[in-house]
Structures are given as structure tokens and as C-alpha cells.
Amino acid sequence: MGLNILDDLEKIFTILAIIIGGLWAYFNYFKGRVYRTRIEPKVSGKVFYKDDSTYLIVSAQLKNVGLSKVNLQKKGSGFRVFKYLGGSQPPGARTVKYHRLGTFSVFNDHRWIESGETIKEEQLIRLPKSEHFAFLLEMRIVAYKISFKTKNVVPIPELVKQDDS
């Protein structure tokens, strides 16, 4: 009789060990994958002219595609505006060079982003007068000491003079 109780206890503890091990592996896998910080930044722009000035509307978007809240860090987060340098280029296909015009903060009103949430922000930037062909927008978001980056090239529309006739 004592031997049967020990056999039964051994079976129960074996079953419990398998269940606990399975739960640990399941949560460890998903905690490492699903609950980790996963955000998708997007940046775009549109150029327009008004009163002999060039303006750039920068649209920034951030989407939390993970399953947990993400705390955003102000330090290191923001976007930069670059202009295409132009000038003579060596023959053949090459990446063009840009010159940085400025660095701007982004999402200052947001300290975190919830799971599944998308936040958007637009900023209007007046640009110095010069001949531009294109701009490069580069956005960097820092969360939990991880940086997420995205870039987008904004072409410059032709400046069309309208006749008053």
C-alpha cells in the first residue's frame, strides 16, 4: 500500500513537472518575442512655396505593433532634415550626398504608446532660400535603449509661376 502511494505521488509530480516546464517554455518564448518592444516609425514630407519662401510639412507616425506598452525616450529621439547638395556627380549610379539643415524633436506630448496604438504629428518648417532638388527626412525613436530608424526622400515640385491673366 505504501508503495502504491509513492508510485502515485511520483506520477503526479512528473505530470506537474511537465506542465510547469511547458508553461515556462511557452511564456519564455512569447515573452521574448511577442512582448518585446516593436514599433514602426514612418516619416514623410511635402514641400510648398509661399511668398518667396520654401516650406516643408513633416508628417511623423509611430505605431506600436507589439503587445505591450512602450515608453518613449526624449533623449535621442527626433528627426533630421537634409538637403541634396547637387553639383557635378561622377559618372555611373551613386548614392547622392546630403547636407543637414536641422534636427527637430518629435512626439514631445507622448511619454508612451499603448499596444496597437498609432500616434501622428505634423510640423511646419521654413527652409533657407537656396536651390533644392530633394530633401531627406530621417527619424529616430528611442525606446528602452533601442533605436528605431526610418528615412524618406521628399522630391521638390517645380516652382510654377502663375499668370495673373
Neighbouring residues of 138: CB distance < 8 A, sequence distance ≥ 6: 43, 79, 80, 82, 149, 150, 151
Residue 44's domain spans which residues? Answer: 39-155
**13 and 68 share a domain?**
no
User: pTM for the complete prediction?
Assistant: 0.73
Render each residue's pLDDT in the chain as its tens digit; 165 residues: 567 888 888 889 899 999 998 888 877 766 655 667 789 999 999 998 888 888 999 999 999 998 889 999 999 999 999 998 776 667 788 788 888 999 999 999 999 999 899 999 999 999 877 677 889 999 999 998 899 999 999 988 775 444 444
**89 and 13 share a domain?**
no
Kindly state the cell numbers that stand for 107: 512626439
- Cα–Cα distance, 30 to 147 (Å, whole number): 22
